[in-house]
Chain A
């Protein structure tokens, strides 16, 4: 009996020691929806994590966490095992993040792309990817010969629709005859489906392909078919060196480093962040010289103007598909309208799946 008691005591002390050790140093946890090797969404978040690590802060990550019942446990385990700040990097983690945040008021939570901040220790953040789409639209409008742009879309959520609209508006500005054809694949990452979609769009006459999905399959299909394409989330240039004109890069690193340091130093506050080209959360990969030096210069100028605020992606007049006015001439769409965007602008073909 005595021995048993002693053993129990030792193990309790051991566990206590573990947890004290865990609390001794500041740690940041990351929850990923995909594998770190997806070369898209998760890959970029992991690059951000590495930057935090390089800044001298310990990090942990858990990859390929399904957005179902498992997410809450993983987030809770990170909170329980002494992580002080936890980034949950997919929309589907929104409710689990808020649930766990309620039980761990001393741990800070950062949820990407969501809109719920139910507790004071939850922040949300996302990037103005649509600014990058405006640049893609400009290039696509100039490069297309068939006046048809193929767009592989994931889910009909405002973020994706915003991208389609921003791209189409910019393309129309340089080429009024432009048509945007869309294939909805209802997945963020499925190389098979994405390449089928790319092929279908090419077969329908699209000679510029872009994607709001994360795998490198579409750019590889475009490379084979000899049409232009754009990379998504990370620089995908090496997967389709001839075809890719540029890639929209999600650069989370500065934000992650800044927020981690703030949490460590006790200056972290709840906020809703929506950064774009200006802050560098959206960045562009080097432009392909195949599009000609003049166009590169134009796009570089447009990038500067978008960053400085001189040009806004959604400047009126903007019409919906039926010709009703959405944004009056000279006005720009406000963030509220952008956040809830659920109609196509004129020039986009088809209907939003409902």
Chain B
């Protein structure tokens, strides 16, 4: 007989240490996989986790990749903390990109310091409005936000498809599914010559700081946390549940929209069909790996970004399949959830009692 019991006292420090444990277990598991595939595990792990960030360019790329993940995950943490399951950050990112990109095209060949801020703001508003759809449907029509937000991802992607193929496609682009390259005034300024790291990183850092402020220093943050822990308590305390649900979705959508607009005005510079390699979904892993904590999410986004870069370098130097990166992401989540389970539950091995026979 195996009996599973809930633990009553879970230490906070261990709670924040388990992600690190999960990462080490992933490295160990990854080493074994590389060994089975016939590679020297130490060397393979070096190519995977050290080589990609061994120069300035690599570090800059790491930040470029981590920026959208961090932004989206921060936004998602508001939703997840309050038990609202927004799975559609990818759609909100795309919609933010569409709105921001539309404004950027409107300002084509238009100079002025105000162009970029307007684009960024409109992207955030776009993401925000798009996230309000599942929120309003949930609060007023009792729909399931998981399904609605997920399905809206496809709506946003198809809308982007339509726009870049049709009305917004580059007039000189031979009908290829992409818009014009945005003008310089609509691009995020590059921080260092030759590197792709751009001012979007400051937006991310400011967002992280603001989220920390909201979550831990304001009444709203307190409401969010209480509703996450117990909806009944929140109701008993007289919190306005509906408004809060809409607010967390708005924050989450705005962050995803910012990520989208950051991508198109940053490294991409135009709208096309592939503005995001599923950042919105990967950010869910990032949010949980970072324990829904702003600082934790920064580290988590860097680690998950590294698994992407590592998958590329490992492929270049060792010719291991690209999907090893996804295996690593999967392993991190698996070990994290596994250790969480053991953290919150006790497994007791009991002998068989006589009366059970």
Chain A interfacial positions (CB closer than 8 Å to B): 15, 29, 35, 60-64, 66-70, 72-74, 76-78, 80-81, 91-92, 95, 103, 115, 155-158, 161, 186, 339-340, 342, 352-354
Residue of A nearest to B161 (CB): A186
B263 touches A (CB below 8 Å): yes
Q: Are B275 and A68 in contact (CB under 8 A)?
A: yes
For B175, the chain A residues whose CB sits under 8 A away are: 155-158, 161, 342, 352
Q: Which of B176, B313, B315, B319 contacts A155 (CB 8 A)?
A: B176
Q: Do B274 and A61 have beta carbons less than 8 Å apart? A: no
State whether B161 touches A340 (Cβ < 8 A).
Answer: no
- The one of B161, B165, B274, B323 in contact with A68, judged by C-beta atoms closer than 8 angstroms, is B274
Query: Residues of A contacting B64 with CB < 8 Å?
Result: 69, 73
B interface residues, how many (CB within 8 angstroms): 39
A117–chain B nearest beta-carbon distance, Å: 15
Whether A77 contacts B316 by the Cβ 8 Å rule is yes
Residues of A with C-beta under 8 A to B316 = 29, 60, 62, 74, 77-78, 81
Query: Which residues of chain A are within 8 angstroms of B308 by Cβ–Cβ distance?
Result: 70
Q: Does B351 contact A (CB under 8 A)?
A: no
B61 — which chain A residues lie within 8 A by C-beta?
73
Report the nearest A residue to B317, measured CB to CB. A81
User: From B68, which residue of chain A is reached at the shortest CB distance?
Assistant: A69
> Interface digits, B269-283 against A, CB 8 Å rule (1 contact, 0 not)?
110111111000000
Please tell me which one of the listed residues B165, B196, B270 contacts residue A186 in the complex, with CB atoms under 8 A apart: B165
**Which residues of chain B come closer than 8 Å to A339, judged between CB atoms?**
174
Residues of B within 8 A of A161 (CB): 175
How many contacts A-B (CB < 8 Å)? 87
Kindly provide the distance from the CB of B103 to the nearest chain A CB, expressed in whole angstroms.
20
**How far in angstroms is the closest Cβ of chain A from B18?**
30
User: Is residue B54 contacting chain A, with contact meaning CB distance below 8 A?
Assistant: yes
Q: Chain B residues near A186 (CB, 8 Å)?
A: 161, 165, 177
In the bound complex, CA of A77 to CA of B194 (Å): 14
| Partner of A91 from B165, B176, B270, B321 at Cβ < 8 Å | B176
Chain A's closest residue to B269 (CB) is A95
Can you report 12 residue pairs joining A to B where beta carbons are below 8 Å apart?
A: A15-B54, A63-B321, A68-B276, A68-B277, A69-B268, A73-B61, A73-B309, A74-B316, A76-B57, A103-B194, A155-B177, A352-B175
Q: Indicate if the CB atoms of A60 and B319 lie closer than 8 Å.
A: yes
Q: Beyond A103-B194, A155-B177, A156-B165, is A62–B312 a contact (Cβ under 8 Å)?
A: yes
Q: Which of A63, A73, A340, A352 contacts B315 (CB 8 A)?
A: A63
Residues of B162-195 at the interface with A, using a CB-CB cut-off of 8 Å, are: 165-167, 174-178, 181, 194
Give Cα distance in the complex from A342 to B169, angstroms: 14
A165 CB → nearest B CB, Å: 14
Q: What's the nearest-Cβ distance from chain A to residue B201, in Å?
A: 14
Which chain B residues (62-92) contact chain A, with CB distance < 8 Å? Answer: 64
Indicate whether A157 sits within 8 Å of B174 (C-beta atoms), given known contacts A60-B319, A61-B319, A353-B166: yes
Q: Chain A contacts of B266 at CB under 8 A?
A: 69
Q: Are A92 and B322 in contact (CB under 8 A)?
A: no
Closest to A80 in B: B57
B267 within 8 A of A: yes
Complex formed: what's the CA distance from A95 to B268 in Å? 9
Residue numbers in A under 8 Å from B323 (CB-CB): 64
With contact pairs A61-B319, A69-B267, A80-B57 given, residues A354 and B312 touching in the complex (Cβ less than 8 Å) = no
In the complex, the answer to whether A72 meets B312 with C-beta atoms within 8 Å is: no
Cα(A155)–Cα(B175), bound, Å: 8
Q: Compute how far the CA of A61 lies from the CA of B317 in the bound complex, rounded to whole angstroms.
A: 10
Task: Kindly list chain A residues whose C-beta atoms are within 8 Å of the C-beta of B317.
Answer: 81
Q: Is the CB of B166 within 8 A of A66?
A: no
Across the interface, A67 reaches (CB within 8 A) one of B57, B174, B263, B274, namely: B274
A157 to B315, CA, bound (A): 32
Minimum CB–CB distance for B315 against chain A, Å: 5
B315 partner residues in chain A, CB cutoff 8 A: 61-63
Using CB atoms, name the residue of chain A closest to B263.
Answer: A69
